[in-house]
Amino acid sequence: MPSNVEVKAVVSNPEDFAGVAAQLSQSEGAIIRQHDTFFHCSQGRLKLRDFMDGTGQLIFYERPDSDGPKLSRYSISPTSDPSSLRMVLSDALGVKGEVRKERRLFLVGQTRIHLDSVEGLGHYMELEVVMRPEQTVEEGQQVAHGLMEQLGVSEESLVTGAYMDLILKGVKET
């Protein structure tokens, strides 16, 4: 199963963060609109990501709920009909909740830097260090820590869990 090391944090100044991420990636980043529907499942998390253009991905992942860099294992299946798949999964499993966001994606080496504007929550960043088969979790964590430092992400701004967890807890916009 593919894996990555992930970090999530609150971003207090999205313009400054985007500027540093753009410098690191030498790009302005790609804008991606996403509507994620989370379904009840017995282990891990199952979500359908709708890209709002007729395409989507069914994603299953397992990741500890802790702050700082952590290993996430995932499986992804593309779909060309996310709305009918959402109906089937909703009937079969029930909907846990939904997350709508606009994501600005920057690529730096093996890392995907996301600047997310999440409806009802505010601005966050995610780092996804895509692990190579020969890499250890510790090596992925070192990459994440190095980028956190370059991006000015403090330990105090780190967040545990998924956006869905924050919404279910009633966390308000930052």
Q: What is the pTM of this model?
A: 0.93
Contact by Cβ (8 Å): 34, 40: no
Enumerate the H helices of the chain as residue ranges.
14-25, 82-93, 137-151, 163-169
Confidence of residue 171 (pLDDT cuts 50, 70, 90): confident
Q: What pLDDT digit, counting tens, does each position of 38-53 carry? A: 999 999 999 999 999 9
Q: How many angstroms separate the CA atoms of 99 and 153, rounded?
A: 23
Q: Which residues sit opposite 30 in a β-bridge?
A: 105
pLDDT of residue 174: 62
Q: What pLDDT digit, counting tens, does each position of 136-146 carry? A: 999 999 999 99
Q: Is the pLDDT of residue 34 over 90?
A: yes
Contact by Cβ (8 Å): 14, 22: no
Helix, strand, coil distribution of the chain in percent, nearest 5: 30, 40, 30
pLDDT of residue 172: 79
Q: Of 6, 2, 4, whose CA–CA distance to 159 is shortest?
A: 6
pLDDT of residue 44: 95
pLDDT of residue 67: 86
Domain 3-169 has CATH 2.40.320.10: yes
**What is the arithmetic mean of pLDDT over 121-140?**
96
Cβ neighbours of 101 (radius 10 Å): 18
Q: How many angstroms separate the CA atoms of 20 and 11, rounded?
A: 13
